[in-house]
Amino acid sequence: MSTHAADARPLMSRKSGRLQGAVVVPGDKSISHRALILGALAEGRTRITGLLEAEDILCTARALEALGAGVERDADGAWTVTGRGLGGLAAPAGDLDFGNSGTGARLMMGVVAGHPLAARFTGDASLQKRPMGRVLAPLQSMGLAIEEEGRNTLPLTLVGTGDLVPISYRLPVPSAQVKSAVLLAGLFASGETSVIESEKSRDHTEKMLRYFGAEISVEPFEGGLRIALEGRRTLKGQPVAVPGDPSSAAFLVAAALITPASDILVKNVLVNPTRTGFYETLAEMGADISFENEREVSGEPVADIRARTSELRGVTVPAARAPSMIDEYPMLAALATLAEGETLMEGLAELRVKESDRLAAMVDGLVACGAIAHARGDTLTVLGLPKVRGGATIKTHMDHRIAMSFLVLGLATEEPVTVDDASMIATSFPEFRTLMQQVGATLDEPGQASNEARGKDHK
């Protein structure tokens, strides 16, 4: 049975010539979620420029509105959030629907935990399959209640409290979402809430909490880090400039690397070290990439990323790098099909519980395209080939990153690559097709491509 709606929109990519140009990708998804949420918890107004206007972010905005915060898009494209202060949100009249957004749902669980209200969390069919237990366990130890006892998937009715208990929580596996949910809940607890992580995960929540005035410290601890937050400290609304999303930039960078004579500049991209594992790996593979015009914006490091056509070689990507590039593995796996030698990607258990089982989806899709790939345990192995056939229709399983990764691969395969549905790309990167075409990539609806080909035959 298909997991796609009747209005699924297939999209096809074809072998491309030179890609060139300077582009700006939409705002970073992680920072966009957090700017909205902290703006709603702060006193006063928060003006956000560069907010990612993708469905995932809009779901978070609608949830905050349903809880009583003011969230408005201004005429100039900026967003203004009118905060309610800590503990000031109100019970929603209906469900909080997070669509496909695991980040929005999990972070908002930490927010709702600190309010004496009940809220029913739900989402689309994909999100309802994703486990929430790792976030709910520490929040329950702080005082959150769940009406559907024993369940850990949406829909769930969460019952918060104005008397959360501070905890010291050691993350069982690196997870910025779990860490962030606990820290957000810690804002409402009396005393110090701390999170201990053995491996550093993306730290946007810590940076933004400090930027909004929270009392937070990050110190080395037993080979990892201890993040400690003092609860019940007033947050003040701040201006936030959201830099470009490095996970979105990855698709344009990858396209430049595998198409002939290409040179693309992606401007104003977040280059926080907790998010640049993909670019570090590309450098090890021999990619011609560079960070230019490095600077700091709203407390985050930003740069322009230049990428040019490159001869890539296979590498081993250690498990320790997974937290800094967890969203980029599908794109890396596609690139590895064209790299000389073998590429091993280790420590990818987290990919099995993303929007889809990304390990299985990537292997199935790559093999369908004539590539050599297999997964054993949490390790993905891809053997590079001089040419990759393509010519397949890829099952995306409603996963935006699977769709975009195979559309990029299709720019370099011998035959076109089609994805069965491109509609969900809008959850994270609604401008994907436009920007790819802007630099010269060939992306068409399958029927449109056939019609164009027939038209050329008659000329």
Residue 424 CA to residue 55 CA, distance in Å, equals 9
Work out whether the CA dihedral 33, 34, 37, 40 comes out positive or negative: negative
The answer on whether 455 is annotated among ligand-binding residues is: no
Residue 450 CB neighbour total at 10 angstroms:
12
Residue 431 CA to residue 207 CA, distance in Å, equals 27
CA distances for 35 relative to 17, 54, 56, 202, 327, angstroms: 39, 14, 14, 15, 20
Q: Which of 56, 97, 124, 327 is catalytic?
A: 327
Provide DSSP, 111-149. Answer: HHHTSS-EEEEE--TTGGGS--HHHHHHHHHHT-EESST
Label residue 172 exposed, middle or buried (CB < 10 Å: 0-12, 13-18, 19+).
Answer: exposed
CA geometry: angle 59, 150, 93, nearest 5 deg: 35
Buried b (16+ CB within 10 A) or exposed e, 202-240: bbbbbbbbebbbbebebeeeeeebbbbbbbbeebebbeb
Kindly calculate the radius of gyration of the chain based on its CA atoms and give it in whole angstroms: 22
The answer on whether 102 is annotated among ligand-binding residues is: yes
CA geometry: angle 318, 135, 229, nearest 5 deg: 90
Percent of residues in the chain assigned helix, strand, coil, to nearest 5: 35, 25, 40
The answer on whether 401 is annotated among ligand-binding residues is: yes
Residue 261 · residue 34 · CB < 8 Å: no
Residue 282 · residue 289 · CB < 8 Å: yes
Q: Judge if the upstream peptide bond of residue 138 is cis by omega within 30 degrees of 0.
A: no
The answer on whether 128 is annotated among ligand-binding residues is: no
The answer on whether 29 is annotated among ligand-binding residues is: yes
Residue 387 · residue 313 · CB < 8 Å: no
* Local structure of 366: helix, strand or coil: helix
Q: In the Cβ-directed half-sphere of 348, how many Cα atoms lie within 13 Å?
A: 28
The answer on whether 450 is annotated among ligand-binding residues is: no
CA distances for 380 relative to 124, 312, 345, 383, angstroms: 28, 18, 5, 10
The answer on whether 236 is annotated among ligand-binding residues is: no
Residue found under tokens 């977040």? 270
The answer on whether 354 is annotated among ligand-binding residues is: yes
Residue 23 CA to residue 53 CA, distance in Å, equals 17
State yes or no: is 327 an active-site residue. Answer: yes
Residue 266: phi and psi, rounded to 5, are -105, 115
Residue 376: phi and psi, rounded to 5, are -130, 120
The answer on whether 459 is annotated among ligand-binding residues is: no
Q: What residue numbers does the annotated binding site for 3-phosphoshikimate cover?
A: 29-30, 34, 175, 177, 327, 354
Q: What residue numbers does the annotated binding site cover?
A: 29-30, 34, 102, 130, 175, 177, 327, 354, 358, 401
Residues designated as active site = 327
Q: What residue numbers does the annotated binding site for phosphoenolpyruvate cover?
A: 29, 102, 130, 177, 358, 401
